[in-house]
Amino acid sequence: MRAAEFRRHRAARSVTRREAPEVIRLGVAGPNWRDAYHLLLTTTWPRLLLVFLGMYLGVNSCFALAYLATGNSIENAHSGSFPDAFFFSVQTLATIGYGYMYPKGLATNVLVALESLCGVVVFALFTGLAFARFSRPTARVAFSDLAVVTAFDGVPTLMLRAANQRRNQILEAQARLTFLRDERSREGIAMRRLHDLKLIRDATPVFAYTWMIMHRIDESSPLFGLSPADLQELGGIIIVSVAGLDDALSQAVHARKLYEADQLRFGQRFVDITSRDAEGRRYSDYRRLSEVETS
């Protein structure tokens, strides 16, 4: 039973997030040391932990070599032993407190003072980066894998579905839909242009469960008259974004997803994912968030 629940939970979480086609940027400088904080804040956790481990080993190794250069200056350490000097450095950097080994001589005590200061700085940086990553607000908003174009109130309508996967509420949520396509100006200049798509409802006071985001394709719509083949030829992409205020954190959160032309289904509609049981309790089946049927 637990395994089945776990699989259902994973299915509800598995939302394919297709990004825009990669563009190779020429003439852009590589990573800069001044962007180190941003790089460490946005990299993956495994890479960040590897950076921390590398810095930790590197700092201790450098100080271990410095202790060895001062001669036999660590009491009870084997003469010229790098492991003893390394673990002595570990004790100093982490301010663990000396036991069997301790410094002797002015040069060694100066190095100990410098490493203690270095340890304060290094651990402050590690702690700050870890806290910044843990405390960064994020939204767990799932979007349907597909978007559909079907009749709604007699008008062709673009629809896609969003769901809040947390048990919190996103207050004053705002949705925005944008159409990105290839165009040519009257002078023959090729460009990628963004067109805002007006929504039937672009805001909700409380986004707690699901939200059907809809755009009417009438004469004023940038999508009016475009067929699936036209969208493919134009390199059309639908960009949806949702932003609001997390009621638990009182901070702004946002989520987005891209829909390429092959993810649009014409003449289909989403299946209903809400139901009630005999006792009147309402259910919303997120596992069926992307299910469609012929309209």
Single pTM value for the model: 0.72
d(CA 34, CA 26) in angstroms, rounded, equals 20
pLDDT at 100 (0 to 100): 79
pLDDT at 1 (0 to 100): 40
Token pair 């997803």 is at which residue?
Answer: 257
Q: What are the angstrom distances between the C-alpha of 248 and each of 64, 92, 134, 143, 164? A: 47, 41, 15, 22, 14
Per-residue pLDDT averaged across 69-81, rounded? 85
Task: Specify whether the backbone of 104 is left (phi greater than 0), alpha (psi in -120 to 50) or beta.
Answer: beta
Residue ranges of the chain assigned to CATH 2.60.40.1400: 141-294
Residue ranges of the chain assigned to CATH 1.10.287.70: 33-135
CATH number of 33-135: 1.10.287.70
d(CA 238, CA 256) in angstroms, rounded, equals 11
Token pair 């959160």 is at which residue?
Answer: 253
d(CA 181, CA 193) in angstroms, rounded, equals 6
Q: Which of 13-17, 172-176, 181-185 has the lowest mean pLDDT?
A: 13-17
- CB neighbour class for 88 (10 Å; exposed up to 12, middle 13-18, buried from 19): buried
Per-residue pLDDT averaged across 55-62, rounded? 92
Name the class of domain 141-294.
mainly beta
pLDDT at 21 (0 to 100): 57
User: Angle CA(258)–CA(252)–CA(8) in degrees, nearest 5?
Assistant: 55
pLDDT at 30 (0 to 100): 67
Does residue 17 surpass a pLDDT of 90? no
Tokens at residue 286, please?
Answer: 């997120």
d(CA 110, CA 101) in angstroms, rounded, equals 16
Does residue 283 surpass a pLDDT of 90? no
Higher pLDDT among residues 102 and 30, named by residue: 102
Q: Which of 8-12, 42-46, 61-65, 265-269 has the lowest mean pLDDT?
A: 8-12
Task: For 200-227, write each residue's pLDDT tens digit.
Answer: 999 999 999 999 999 999 999 999 999 9
